[in-house]
Structure 1
């Protein structure tokens, strides 16, 4: 039985560019740029993911395994992951993840019913050196527009957790509103909506 592609009714773009960044599907070719960004932002990423990832001894090979997995998911239409690069493509600024809402766990039955009404959830991180800057704010506002206009995703959710107050502030200043706070703390405990 063939698996139905995630967001099969939507246009999945190959790339995005504004004056500050260029996004394209994350691939093993990005290994060195991605690894440098991940390791330079590892303390933030542990809070953002509510996990011990990446550990201090996270190796290039470990990162390659992650990139291979994300590329496979992207090709198969299971989930979509984009690297956020500088316009000249010489620096990784972060990463963007587009996932089905059924990946959000744990949730109550009521929360699952609400989540099932939304097509996708978006998570992203920007490397430490660009957090709380105008550049980060412009990138996020333009990404929100990209999802609305190019993808046609107006009912998507952006997720974060209480351990990353900078993202909470960024979502508010970008015009998102808190749509749902999950009962069980997780990396997705705060879900933000465009409308």
Structure 2
């Protein structure tokens, strides 16, 4: 179905916002918008796309009363940038201090957005900006990335890798700082979870958050999801994982 990668995973500094992990093959740039080597693209396609699903339809977006998810492109970059820069504490926590804010410019962002747009159009990674219903401001970002590839880079053991279908997604998101206590996180996780289950050609998906992302954790705790911690020697951040029941 898909080969996917994370941006913002808006990545920070030399570490980038790419939550696929800091693998040698993945050159990660700031704002989670890493870029991918030709070799890695080939690996992605081989790992993530099952032959019968190569032409499976990928949803163009998600519309809800509280938000609209659309692909991150040059057309929406300015809104995304404004939301990002208005959320320094959120960005610091979500990225574990890996994404830059100070000194990060719209010109920097546009270069990285171009890479995300190319990934999206080529079905390697899917980054959505979450807009207000008016479409005049951004509320955050959503990333749908290849779960199995992240686990491989993070040193998951064979038993865990064998249990993860090729068409499985790693899902992360952040919401603008002034939206943390508005109930928007509850709305987003419920709507996105249903969307992924019902409209995406995925075998499964897992949300990933850090414990200090309090609004996101609380919202995910309220859903009927399986909560777990994974032992990953190549990525020791204390991520919490949430997966829909089988």
What TM-score range do you get, normalising by the shorter chain? Answer: 0.7 to 0.9
Q: How does 1:146-161 map to 2 (within 5 A)?
A: 146-153=195-202, 155-161=204-210
Distance 1:56 1:114, change over 3 A: farther
**2:113 is the counterpart of 1:61:** no
Q: How does 1:25-64 map to 2 (within 5 A)?
A: 25-64=71-110
User: How well do the aligned residues superpose, as a CA RMSD in angstroms?
Assistant: 2.5
The CA distance in 2 between the partners of 1:103 and 1:26, in whole Å, is 21
Query: Structure 1 residue aligned with 2:222, among 155, 173, 186?
Result: 173
The CA distance in 2 between the partners of 1:136 and 1:168, in whole Å, is 9
Q: What does the per-residue CA deviation read over 1:47-85, in whole Å, with 9 as the maximum and x for residues that have no partner?
A: 111233123111111111221111010011111111110
**2:187 is the counterpart of 1:107:** no
User: Could you say which structure has the higher helix fraction?
Assistant: 1
Give the deviation of 1:154 after TM superposition: 5.8
Secondary structure of the structure 2 residue equivalent to 1:28 = coil
**2:144 is the counterpart of 1:98:** yes
Work out whether residues 120 and 157 of structure 1, in 8 Å CA contact, stay in contact via their aligned partners in 2. Answer: yes
Unaligned runs of 5+ in 2: 1-38
> Which residue number in structure 2 is paired with residue 132 of structure 1?
181
**TM-score computed with the length of structure 1 as normaliser:** 0.87
Secondary structure of the structure 2 residue equivalent to 1:162 = coil
Give the deviation of 1:117 after TM superposition: 6.2
Unaligned runs of 5+ in 1: none
> Which residue number in structure 1 is paired with residue 244 of structure 2?
194
Greater mean deviation of Cα atoms: 3-12 or 50-59:
3-12
**TM-score computed with the length of structure 2 as normaliser:** 0.70
Greater mean deviation of Cα atoms: 89-98 or 39-48:
39-48
Secondary structure of the structure 2 residue equivalent to 1:47 = helix
Query: Structure 2 residue aligned with 1:11, among 38, 54, 57?
Result: 57
Secondary structure of the structure 2 residue equivalent to 1:181 = coil
Give the deviation of 1:152 after TM superposition: 4.6
Give the deviation of 1:97 after TM superposition: 0.5
Aligned length: 195
Work out whether residues 172 and 208 of structure 2, in 8 Å CA contact, stay in contact via their aligned partners in 1. Answer: yes
Query: Structure 2 residue aligned with 1:89, among 121, 124, 135?
Result: 135
Secondary structure of the structure 2 residue equivalent to 1:93 = strand
Secondary structure of the structure 1 residue equivalent to 2:102 = coil
Runs of 4+ in 1 over 6 A off after TM superposition: none
Secondary structure of the structure 2 residue equivalent to 1:170 = helix
